[in-house]
Structure 1
Amino acid sequence: MYYRTTYPSPVGLITLACDGDDLIGVWNEGQKYHGASISAEMIEKDDMPVFDAATEWLNRYFAGKKPAISELPLAPIGSEFRKSVWNILCEIPYGGTITYGDIAKKIAAEMNKETMSSQAVGGAVGHNPISIIIPCHRVVGANGSLTGYAGGLKTKVKLLELEGVDMSRLFAPTKGTAL
């Protein structure tokens, strides 16, 4: 059984989802792939300990603190490949960024392959079901493009600015499929 609640944040209303014990979803309202990893109906239930922990974590995050991802019980639903990418996202330090290509190199090394497609990595990043906490907003293009963000580029910029990322070399693309 899956449960959901909402959290009003500085970047809009966020839906939190859990399986009773672990957090399985954090989506901005209107986010692409919102709830896509959940195969059953989610029941509205606000009084779950994991939601209390996630709310407290998000409160600290939006207050400019640096809560550790490891403080929360996370269980994102996805393929082993996607989970490998999401694990790498969890290693990106607060206020830091990484490129899709850098993640592809790490995944290739983990899988004992010579190369890995940056596009495949981009697909996994885009389908991250636990936004903000698993920091997919910290992934940028090699040329400094902010590329896409399932929660919207404006939200991505707000999150990076909140974390104090140097935005001087980053830019929003004006055309392409990542908008």
Structure 2
Amino acid sequence: MKKTTAAFILFFMTTILFAQEKYDDKDNLFYATLADAQNHNPIPGLYSKTEFDPYDEFDITYANGETKKNVKCKSKEWPSEYFTNRGMLIRVIEGKAYVCLSLGRMNFYSAFHDGKKFTQEGNTGALKKWDPKYFESLLQQHDLLLRYQMEKPHREISDTVSGYGSKIMGWQVKFMMLLNEKL
């Protein structure tokens, strides 16, 4: 299960880091469960529009061709907890959309609308703002802190702001996945 989840998350991370592709709305699918998403078993005939929305609202198209515009993630019309958008796995928690960066005993998310990072213990723990000190203490407990510090990306003169941000995000996700293997 850990290897499957790690491979699944790695697939979505590469999509996030190299998201220069165009996506068809029909690739933005809904899943009844995380297992369904991992096995690419979507809810039939249901997809969302590929658009960035700062208010956690998306257009949903149903199998009969009907489209509902600006459906809020927290509304009763929202079809499921997990969906994909632009190749990223998104999870709806308390009515807000979060990009799944690493899933396991410790989940790592980025808010869809503003990119702020969050963690959650398992799928039922409280969602908490990213705390680098807490993360480093967990790494220390599992003998990963020194490696984490040694592998921190260095800013190159050729790095753009977003390019360096992607390096940092990739580094943090890598170590969250390593941590999940040890938990």
User: Normalising to structure 1: TM-score of the pair?
Assistant: 0.30
Which has the greater radius of gyration?
2
Structure with greater strand percent: 2
